[in-house]
A and B are shown apart, each in its own frame.
Chain A
Amino acid sequence: MSHHHGHESAKVSRRVFLQRSALGAAAIAITPAGALLNSSEAWALDVKGLKPETMKTLILVARDIFPHDKVPDRFYAVAMKSYDEAAAKDPAAKASTEAFVAALDGAAGAGGYAGKAWEAERVAILRTHEADPMFGAIRGGLVVSLYNNPDVWPIFGYEGESYSKGGYLERGFNDLDWL
């Protein structure tokens, strides 16, 4: 992913600005060039295989499946990148991913899945698609692609690799003091 600060923001249209502010945590805009831009987190993502709107919706779906308010969007974006990469290589993968998102958009009605402002409304749509193999694949994949990211671990207080630091013998293995 690349960081486009001043250069991209000059191109951000009014429509994009309104989309961004309406959705709170899912503050991803689509640039005129068709990339995804999250200005508040300062990252952009080139979308190669899927439609930009599809990729944006997928990132929102990922967050709705495993919502963590303290986890920035970029972790969900990284977790779902493989769907764009697969779509760029394989027309069948592209078709099934686009179809899944189209089904969610259809169930949502006007404004699509990403247009539903309340998480509860979006989750209700996901529940009706739980049996869809694509839902199961996304959910199962996220268990690893979201949570097995060492950069996300500090948000949860997990400290990761330990041997090179001498284990926890001198690093608080028994520092609990409230019992």
Chain B
Amino acid sequence: MVAKFDSNDDSVVVIIGSGAGGGTLGNELAQKGVKVVILEAGARTEYTDFINDEWSSFTQLAWTDMRTTSGSWRVHKDFGNLPAWIVKSVGGSTVHWAGASLRFQEHEFKTATTYGHLKGANLLDWPVTLAEMEPYYARAEDKMGVTRTNNLPGLPGNNNFKVLKAGADKLGYKECHTGRMAINSVERDDRNSCHQTGFCFQGCKWGAKWSTLYVEIPKGEKTGNLEVRPDSHVAQIEHDASGKVTGVVYFDKAGKMQRQKARIVAVAGNSIESPRLLLNSASAKFPDGLANSSGQVGRNYMRHMTGSVYAVFDKPVHMYRGTTMAGIVRDEAKHDPKRGFVGGYEMETLSLGLPFMAAFLNPGAWGREFTTALDGYSNMAGMWLVGEDMPQETNRISLSDAKDKWGLPVANVHFDDHPNDVAMRNHGYAQGKALYEAVGATRVFPTPPYPSTHNLGTNRMSEKPRDGVVNKNGQTHDIANLFISDGSQFTTGGAENPTLTIVSLAIRQAEFIANQMKANVI
């Protein structure tokens, strides 16, 4: 019997968002006997209804609510109202993610100590260490069925991986394999194994890829302690005279305003909506927005140093056959300032279908130089560079002049590359080019960053309240019963895809919240 809680029940934990952070936190708390309401802005589309078609799937799943952009980043010029490609649906971005599940490296939790001072970079050590995270990383890997952990075999290498591996070998790279992926390489946890279908970004129709939609949420619902309300767009978080949060105001499917009371509120709307919500919840007591005594809410927005490298060969590759992210080279992820930048980057295979390749290979380009690239589509291999970008205070989410359909300011995303980001990206382009040319590429295309799929840092963790928004448990410094549970907690971005760290933090946060509730502290 699935739970249904009354809107006046102020004993529940309200979680905003059902993705890697919110969905995991909801299930973990439900398993511990805590009553939870997850409010998800998007609809509930089950995995059997996903669509193997790039644009149709985008219409079905993508967050396309209004946002504005500013800054010198190319995304502002080419996709001015689409700063991010994330999901508005139950499951959040765990619906469309590639599945890459990598732990942060030890030094990536202490970048201020390791990298030193960089002009313009707001570097800060996390208030947690790798050693403290390790037990939670292990639990997350088991929960998600990450390949190459828990005796799970790696996925088989597809054509795109074969090209990557051959090139990596030629360059002398030592750590190249088919990745640590949260995709069943064998049937596990009552879910299918991978059928190499090639539409990971459109949601896995086999359920082989881990997603909160069809793993965490049904498990949580089975306990009778978890209620998920889709089509519920939270507009504001409310608080009492003492500053304690008391509940949230949201708009339901019919557009009617609803109020859900709460003992605790956890915000997990991804790194653009989460700070926007705190800022839009400003009040007489908190004129700069909730939990913003540091002024850091919305700041330090990171999207990883990204870029892609596609290459054309004189023989077929058919890179789109199989998992969208099918392999990795980890040699450049280390910190080696001799290369001309701090931090490192991963090289991960990537494929797009023809429709998205036409849209993203070189936005705005036209003519034969562009079309001859697409002519080589079936002979193309590709990789995505994911690297640590520098937190900058001026890269931030702020409230736009534009308003949503309920009259609330939408988010503006401002971003400029840091010189370290540019140096790292250029190095990655050069290495990707060298890798593909080493195995016979006739043309190579360095591709600019897409609308951001990794969005981080805008409610960051800090030891001291003046440096960030939350403490090492994701609890806001200012308000004891207000938590942040998504990637906006990240103090720095590391070189690794963020989902495993978000899930691990949520497992850990659930323990903290449950203990605090049991001890009646919160």
Contacts and interface: CB of A to CB of B under 8 A. Distances in A.
B171 interface: no
A172 B378 contact: no
Interface string B310-330: 000001111011100000000
Contacts, number: 113
Nearest to B195: A167
Contact of A163 (B54, B197, B359, B377): B197
Contacts of A164: 52
B53 interface: yes
A174 B317 CA distance: 9
B498 to A, nearest CB: 27
Contacts of B357: 147
A167 B163 contact: no
Contacts of A166: 195
9 contacts: A144-B55, A147-B374, A148-B355, A157-B318, A159-B321, A163-B195, A174-B162, A176-B316, A179-B162
A118 interface: no
Interface of B: 52-55, 156-159, 161-163, 166, 194-199, 205-206, 315-318, 320-322, 353-355, 357-359, 364, 366-368, 370-371, 374-375, 377-378, 439
Interface of A: 65-68, 70, 123, 139, 143-144, 146-148, 153, 156-164, 166-169, 171-176, 178-179
B354 A156 contact: yes
A156 B374 CA distance: 8
B359 A143 contact: yes
A19 B375 CA distance: 29
A156 B195 contact: no
Contact of A68 (B53, B205, B318, B371): B371
A171 B54 CA distance: 20
Nearest to A63: B371
Contact of A65 (B162, B318, B321, B366): B366
Chain B's interface: helix, strand, loop or mixed, by majority?
Answer: loop
Given A156-B377, A161-B53, A174-B159, A147 B197 contact: no
A176 B162 contact: yes
B358 A167 contact: no
A30 B214 CA distance: 56
B197 A167 contact: yes
A123 B366 CA distance: 10
A136 to B, nearest CB: 9
A63 to B, nearest CB: 10
A139 B366 CA distance: 8
Contacts of A66: 366, 370-371
A174 B195 CA distance: 12
A147 B355 contact: yes
Contact of B322 (A158, A160, A173): A173
Contacts of B353: 158, 160
Contact of B196 (A67, A167, A179): A167
9 nearest interchain CB pairs? A157-B378, A167-B195, A167-B197, A147-B358, A173-B322, A168-B321, A158-B354, A173-B196, A176-B159
B378 A156 contact: yes
Given A67-B367, A67-B371, A157-B318, A163 B159 contact: no
Contacts of A171: 321
Among A66, A143, A144, A173, residue most surrounded by chain B Cβ atoms (within 10 Å): A173
A159 to B, nearest CB: 7
B62 to A, nearest CB: 14
B374 A173 contact: no
A144 B356 CA distance: 9
Given A68-B375, A174-B158, A168 B196 contact: yes
B171 to A, nearest CB: 14
A157 B159 contact: no
B354 A176 contact: no
Contacts of A161: 52-53
Given A68-B375, A171-B321, A176-B316, A162 B367 contact: no
A179 B198 CA distance: 22
Nearest to B367: A123
B64 to A, nearest CB: 15
B55 A173 contact: no
B195 A169 contact: yes
Contacts of B374: 68, 147, 156
B322 A174 contact: yes
Contact of A153 (B198, B317, B354, B366): B354
B378 A173 contact: no
Contact of B205 (A144, A157, A163): A163
Nearest to B313: A178
B508 to A, nearest CB: 35
Contact of A162 (B156, B198, B355): B198
Contacts of B317: 176
A132 to B, nearest CB: 13
Contact of A168 (B53, B315, B322, B370): B322
Given A66-B366, A173-B158, 5 more contacts: A67-B368, A148-B355, A162-B52, A174-B157, A174-B321
B375 A70 contact: yes
Contacts of B53: 160-161
B111 to A, nearest CB: 38
B373 to A, nearest CB: 11
Nearest to B197: A167
A158 B378 contact: yes
A149 to B, nearest CB: 9
Nearest to B50: A163
A61 B54 CA distance: 26
A179 B439 contact: yes
B354 A163 contact: no
A163 B316 CA distance: 22
Among A143, A146, A153, A164, residue most surrounded by chain B Cβ atoms (within 10 Å): A143
